[in-house]
A and B are shown apart, each in its own frame.
Chain A
Amino acid sequence: MLLAAVTPPVTGPAALVAAVVLGAVFGVLLHRGGVASYDVIVNQFRFRDFTVLKIMFTAIIVGGLGVLALNSAGLANYHIKATNLLGVVLGAGIFGVGMVLYGYCPGTGIAAAASGSLHGLVGLAGLLVGGTLYAFSYPWIAQTILPVGALGKVRLPDVTGIPAPVWFGLLVAIAAVVFTLIEKAERRAAK
C-alpha cells in the first residue's frame, strides 16, 4: 500500500510561496465556511449547528479518496503520525475542553483573529503559552505517557484487515445517513 517515496514537484523557495498561497486558500475556506465564528463552533457542541461536522466529514471523505488515488498512482506519499494511544486520548480530551472554552481550534483561531475576533487573538496568546507548557512538560510526558499504547504508524486497514476502499465506502454510507438526518432536522427547525 505505502509506495516508495515520491519526490514533490514543488521544493525550495517555490514551496515557501506555495505555503502562503495554500494557507490563504485554507483561510478563505475556513472563514467562508463559517468556522471562524465562535458561535458556529460552540453551537456544534450544543447540537444547534452542524456546520463543523458537515465541513470536517466531507473534507475527510473527499480528501481521503483523492489522496488514496494519488498514492495508488504513485503521485503522493502518506504522512501517517505514530499513534500513542494514551497521549491521543488524553490530548484530544483536553483539546475538546479547550476548543469549547476558546471557541476555536488553532487553525480557525488564526482565521478568526485575522478577521476581527479580539478574543480569538487573546486565545492565540494562550496557544503559544500552551505550547511552551507542553515543551517543558515533555521530558516527563515522553517517559510516562507517550509509551502507553504506542502503536506506531498504524492505519485502520492495518488493524482491521478491512481494505481502504471498503472503509471509504462505509464512511460515505455513514455520511449519507448522518447528513440526511441533519438536513431533515434543520428543515423542521426552520419551519
Chain B
Amino acid sequence: MSFLRRPRWNPYAVGAAIGVLSWTVFALVDKPLGVTTALTGLAGACAAPFVGADTVAANAYFKQHVFKADYGLLFLGGIALGALLSAALSGSLRAEAVPAVWRERFGPSVAKRFAAAFVGGVLAMFGARLADGCTSGNGISGSLQLAVGGWTFFLTLFASGLVTAAVLFGLPRSPKA
C-alpha cells in the first residue's frame, strides 16, 4: 500500500474521489457537503464568553445555528482527524508558521503572517456566511447541483482571488518564471 505513504495524490483522482464522496453524503445521510454552516454554531459558542451567552442566544442568526454536537460539527472534527492521519502516515506532519510563498514576498515575521491569516479568516467566514456557503457548500456542492448561486460563487471567488493575489504578489507570470 505504497500510495498511503505518498505525500501527494493525483489531483484529478482526488477531485473524482471528492465527487464520489459527495454522492455518498447525499445518498447516505441526505445532506450536501459543507463546512461553514456548522462552523457558525461553533462561532456562537466561542463568542458567548466574550459577548455574553444571553446576547448570543438572542441573536437572530445564532438562533438559526445553535451550537450542538450534531452531524455538521462532527464532520468538521472528521476533517481534522483525517488530515492529521494523512499527514502522520505520509510523514509530512510538521509545524509551519510562515509558508515559503509568503516568506519570499513578506519576509520571515511570524507576527505579520499570523495577523494576515487572522484577518483573512475573518473575511473568509464573513463572506462565506453572506454568500450562504464556502468553497465546499457553494463552490462544490452548489455547483455540482447546477445551482445558480453555486456557480456565481465559484466564478466570483476566482475573480476576486486573482485580483487580490495580483495586488499582494504582483501580476501572474507564466509558470516558467
Judged by DSSP, the binding face of B is: helix
Number of interface residues of B (CB under 8 A): 130
Chain A residues with CB under 8 A of B132 = 81-82, 84, 87-88, 91
A4 at the interface (CB under 8 A from B): no
Most chain A Cβ neighbours within 10 Å, of B30, B70, B169: B30
Most chain A Cβ neighbours within 10 Å, of B16, B28, B92: B28
B53 at the interface (CB under 8 A from A): no
On chain A, which size bracket covers the interface?
A: 35 or more
Among residues 52 to 74 in chain A, which have CB atoms less than 8 Å away from a CB atom of chain B? Answer: 54-67, 70
B1 at the interface (CB under 8 A from A): no
Expressed in whole angstroms, the Cα–Cα distance for A70 and B30 within the complex equals 12
Expressed in whole angstroms, the Cα–Cα distance for A138 and B122 within the complex equals 15
Judged by DSSP, the binding face of A is: helix
Instruction: State which of A79, A120, A158 has its C-beta within 8 Å of the C-beta of B117.
Output: A120
Q: Is the CB of B82 within 8 A of A131?
A: no
Chain B residues with CB under 8 A of A84 = 132, 149
Q: Is the CB of A70 within 8 A of B23?
A: yes
A70-112 toward B: CB 8 Å interface, digit per residue (1/0)?
1000011111111111011111111111111111111111111
A127 at the interface (CB under 8 A from B): yes
Residue in A closest to B33 when the chains form the complex, CB atoms: A26
Chain A residues with CB under 8 A of B16 = 58-59, 62
Q: Is the CB of A59 within 8 A of B165?
A: no
Instruction: State which of A22, A88, A129 has its C-beta within 8 Å of the C-beta of B138.
Output: A88
Chain B residues with CB under 8 A of A159 = 148
Q: Is the CB of B125 within 8 A of A127?
A: yes
Expressed in whole angstroms, the Cα–Cα distance for A85 and B147 within the complex equals 12
Most chain A Cβ neighbours within 10 Å, of B16, B122, B152: B122
